[in-house]
Amino acid sequence: MRLDKFLGDHNIGTRKQIKEYVKNGRCSINGVVAKKADIHVDENKDEISFDGKVLSYSKFHYFMLYKPQGVVSATTDGRNKTVLDLLADENVRGLSPAGRLDIDTEGLLLLTDDGELIHRLLSPKKHVDKVYEVHIRKELSDGNIRQLEDGIDIGDTKDDGTPDLTLPAKVEIKGMDEDGRPVIHLIIHEGRFHQVKRMLEAVGNEVLFLKRLSMGPLCLDESLVPGKYRELSDKELKILGVKEK
11 has pLDDT over 80: no
* CA–CA distance, 190 with 123 (Å, rounded to integer): 8
For the entire predicted model, the pTM comes to 0.83
Structure confidence at residue 216 (pLDDT): 95
Contacts for 56 with CB less than 8 Å, ≥ 6 apart = none
71 has pLDDT over 80: yes
Q: If pLDDT is split at 50, 70 and 90, which confidence band does 93 have?
A: confident
Q: What does residue 109 show for φ and ψ, rounded to 5 degrees?
A: -140, 130
Q: 201 or 89, which is more confident?
A: 201
* CA–CA distance, 43 with 38 (Å, rounded to integer): 14
Q: Give yes or no: 102 in active site.
A: yes
152 has pLDDT over 90: yes
Which of 77-86, 152-161, 168-177 is the most confident on average?
168-177
List the catalytic residue out of 46, 77, 85, 102. 102
Q: Tell me if residue 65 falls in helix, strand or coil.
A: strand
> Which structural domains are found in the chain, ordered by start?
3-55 (3.10.290.10), 62-237 (3.30.2350.10)
For residue 81, give the DSSP letter.
Answer: -
Q: If pLDDT is split at 50, 70 and 90, which confidence band does 244 have?
A: low
44 has pLDDT over 90: no
Element (H, E) at 5: helix 3-9
